[in-house]
Amino acid sequence: MLKKMLQKYWGFDSFLPLQSEAMNCVLDGRDSVVVLPTGGGKSLCFQAPALCMGNLAIVISPLISLMKDQVDSLKTCGIRAAYINSTLSYEERKQVADDMRAGSLALVYIAPEKLVQPRTIEFLSRLNIAFIAIDEAHCISEWGHDFRPEYRKLGMLKKTFPGIAVHTYTATATERVRLDIADQLGLKKPEILVGSFDRPNLIYKIKPKSDVLNQVIGVMDRHPGDSGIIYCISRKEVDRISNALNKLGYHALPYHAGMSDLDRKNNQEAFIEEKVETIVATVAFGMGIDKSNVRYVIHNGMPKSLENYQQESGRAGRDGLDAECCLFYSNGDYNIWKRMLTADKAQLRKGAFESLKAMINFCNSVICRHQALVQYFGQTLQKKSCNACDVCLGLLDLADDPVTIGQKILSSVIRQEERFGSDYTTLVLKGSNDKRILQNRHDRLSTWGILANEDKRTIRGWTEQLVSQGYLEKNGEYNILSVTPSGRRLLSGDATPRLLKPALPKSNSRTRNKASIEAESWEGVDRELFEKLRVLRRNKADKLNMPPFVVFGDVSLRAMAKYRPSTQEGFRMIKGVGDKKLNDYGQEFLECITLYCSANGLSTDIIPESVPPPKQSKSADTIATALKSFKYFREGMSIEDTAS
């Protein structure tokens, strides 16, 4: 039944990992906590069962834009859905309420603030509710990275609606957060399903800031015409980067809390509707963005936690195609967040400072980025190399003699009597004649100028890497360096740090660089046809007043431009084409494909070269026979002649 729903409404013929288990929890009426990565199909886990159960499903969602995108997507698939929020007029709210009473809606989205109001509770208690789903459930936990007090009130659901199962969904939740969600909601023996936190299609690259505007432009130039998000820590930096990009001829819009609600709304819609390619934003942007075809995410500054980084970088490549995630950081970012957290005592009690330390350690680490992320969330990456991060792609080099370098830095810290920070230590090692150094007579230390041939940024980077790896620690308000017990072992030659140096270009046939990764995802795709289909999609979306990716995702467009179907039967076999989308859009897209192929002398109805051997089952035989039959139908043969 579930598979039929997936195929009929969404055009999918199989489940993603843990989707089937999560859907069966809903059908069986068992409470659940579901953690799946962004792009892992969380929404389907409650949307598909809602169609099977008949009664109304209530979905609690945090943002208006998220509700609208999901309801628009459901409607394009032929599913009766609605939302209740402040954007609706009185007449529209009344119509939704009438539809809910009549039982003609499968799903209704509602904000937590609205749900907990007495009038809403009283209204819902008179309806036949199948189940309640809570999206972005990490907001419930004070240990979560985006805690919202109004979500905490949802603990009344199990008492108010006894016998109705509650299901929660999130992409980022450590074990502590998962258990807190279940406890705060009072879930009864919930099924806790945790998928892999790894996003193998994301290519992580992390570098210290160095002329950051050019670093940002370098990423954008690798993705001409693609959608991207640039995150900044401050509103001021958002405006600076956005203005600079536009002056250089790029198309970017800002988004931050200092703007008016209308300006933010207009800029967000322009990005979603692909009227502008890039949005430059603070972390206020993105939680409600369901846009599937973001091809790059740039962090122009370090996030305050790995939960935030996982969530924000995870907005890239939701369609499963390769996407690039670049983080440019500095020590100053760490200090900014530290000051902000220090001012917020409640946050400190909840472990936010430990999360910040984990974030800076991640930036300074030299292990596989994918491995480091999944380890933070309590999992292990089985592969030796992810082949999709700067470490595994060989974009970073290790210093030739890390023990000697580490010993020189630690020796200087000790000779400075462990009374100074990283900047000062860097100046001593570089051999600076700074006034403070001369006053302290540290130009007479044996470590003065011992790394004179190295760049200041390199020395400073090594110092931070030694801190991250536990050989040094920072103390007090001014981050004074001191040597740890591990550092003492390094000084005696009994430990080996991992220190980076700028990488040299490599010519290694086994190294999968960005160009070859992208080539794989575009293999066989006619790019010119893809662009024509993208224009058609945008025009169609504009007429319908909805985001282009709601019409068809990039995965579907690439498949159309690769296999070039010319019939409704062939078009229906494209991933993401359900019955309603075939009826609504099939004819126009088929005309675009056939006209292009005719004008360019290209064949249509390409059958994949690597079609798997047919299984000994009726369904597989039927699919194989259908593929062979299409060409005969196009030639005008009858069913009887084609069969023979």
Q: Which of 9-23, 571-585, 600-614 has the lowest mean pLDDT?
A: 600-614
DSSP labels for 599-644? HHT---SPPPTTPPPPPSSHHHHHHHHHHHHHHHHHTT--HHHHH-
pLDDT at 610 over 50: no
pLDDT at 344 over 80: no
- Region(s) of the chain under CATH 3.40.50.300: 2-194, 202-395
pLDDT score, position 614: 37
Tell which residue, 125, 142, 151, has the closest CA to residue 62. Answer: 151
pLDDT at 145 over 90: no
Q: Which of 23-27, 277-281, 289-293, 320-324 has the lowest mean pLDDT?
A: 289-293
pLDDT score, position 208: 86
* Residue 98: its H or E element: helix 90-102
Return the sign of the alpha-carbon dihedral for residues 339, 341, 342, 343. positive
CATH number of 522-606: 1.10.150.80
* Residue 133: its H or E element: strand 129-134
Give the integer Cα–Cα distance in Å for 97 and 86. 14
Q: What is the pLDDT of residues 450-505, one digit of tens each?
A: 999 888 888 988 998 898 788 999 888 788 999 999 999 999 999 988 888 754 44
Cα 609 to Cα 524, 557, 564, distances in angstroms: 11, 19, 14
Cα 553 to Cα 311, 389, 524, 549, distances in angstroms: 21, 25, 18, 5
DSSP 8-state class, residue 405: H
Give the integer Cα–Cα distance in Å for 111 and 2. 27
Name the band, by pLDDT with cuts 50, 70 and 90, for residue 143: low
The token pair that represents 111 in the structure block: 């904000």
Helices and strands, number each (H, E), in the chain: 31, 17
Higher pLDDT among residues 32 and 621, named by residue: 32
The token pair that represents 178 in the structure block: 């998962």
pLDDT score, position 504: 45
Name the band, by pLDDT with cuts 50, 70 and 90, for residue 147: low
Give the integer Cα–Cα distance in Å for 101 and 63. 24
Give the integer Cα–Cα distance in Å for 40 and 216. 28
Cβ proximity of 89 and 169 under 8 Å: no
Work out the percent of the chain whose per-residue pLDDT is above 70: 88
Higher pLDDT among residues 425 and 342, named by residue: 425
pLDDT at 559 over 50: yes
Cβ proximity of 548 and 273 under 8 Å: yes
Q: What is the pLDDT of residues 513-555, one digit of tens each?
A: 544 445 556 788 898 999 999 899 988 888 888 778 788 888 8
Quick check: pTM over 0.75? Answer: no
For residue 398, list its beta bridge partners: 500
For residue 168, list its beta bridge partners: 33, 134
Structural domain 398-502, CATH architecture = Orthogonal Bundle (1.10)
CA-CA-CA-CA dihedral for 300, 305, 309, 311, to nearest 10: -130
**pLDDT, the chain, mean:** 85
pLDDT at 570 over 50: yes
Tokens 């009038």 locate to 119
Topology, domain 202-395 = Rossmann fold (3.40.50)
Q: Which of 118-132, 371-385, 476-490, 568-582 has the lowest mean pLDDT?
A: 371-385
The token pair that represents 595 in the structure block: 């006209």
Give the integer Cα–Cα distance in Å for 540 and 422. 56
Q: Which of 209-218, 332-341, 402-411 has the lowest mean pLDDT?
A: 332-341
Tokens 């309420």 locate to 97
Give the integer Cα–Cα distance in Å for 44 and 11. 12
* Residue 267: its H or E element: helix 261-272
pLDDT score, position 45: 94
Tell which residue, 579, 593, 608, has the closest CA to residue 537. Answer: 593
Higher pLDDT among residues 514 and 91, named by residue: 91
Alpha-helical runs (H) found in 109-229:
112-115, 118-124, 149-152, 157-160, 175-185, 212-221
Give the integer Cα–Cα distance in Å for 434 and 424. 9
Grouping H, G, I as helix, E, B as strand and the rest as coil, residue 170 is strand
pLDDT score, position 286: 59
Cβ proximity of 418 and 401 under 8 Å: no
The token pair that represents 105 in the structure block: 């809606």
CB atoms within 10 A of CB 470: 15
- Region(s) of the chain under CATH 1.10.150.80: 522-606
Residue type, 442: H
- Region(s) of the chain under CATH 1.10.10.10: 398-502
Give the integer Cα–Cα distance in Å for 3 and 574. 16
Grouping H, G, I as helix, E, B as strand and the rest as coil, residue 392 is coil
Work out the percent of the chain whose per-residue pLDDT is above 90: 45
Give the integer Cα–Cα distance in Å for 203 and 324. 5
DSSP labels for 278-295? EEEE-TTSSTT---S-EE
Tokens 């109004």 locate to 150
Residues in contact with 68: Cβ distance below 8 Å, sequence separation at least 6, in sequence order: 83, 87
pLDDT score, position 379: 86
Name the band, by pLDDT with cuts 50, 70 and 90, for residue 369: very high
pLDDT, mean of residues 3-32: 90
Q: Which of 62-66, 137-141, 342-346, 508-512 has the lowest mean pLDDT?
A: 508-512
Residue 216: what are its φ and ψ, rounded to 5°?
-65, -45
Residue 107: what are its φ and ψ, rounded to 5°?
-140, 145
Q: What is the pLDDT of residues 612-636, one digit of tens each?
A: 443 333 333 333 344 445 545 555 6
CB atoms within 10 A of CB 356: 22
pLDDT score, position 131: 96
Residue 83: what are its φ and ψ, rounded to 5°?
-135, 160
Name the band, by pLDDT with cuts 50, 70 and 90, for residue 510: very low
Tell which residue, 183, 180, 182, has the closest CA to residue 192. Answer: 182
For 2-194, which CATH superfamily applies? P-loop containing nucleotide triphosphate hydrolases (3.40.50.300)
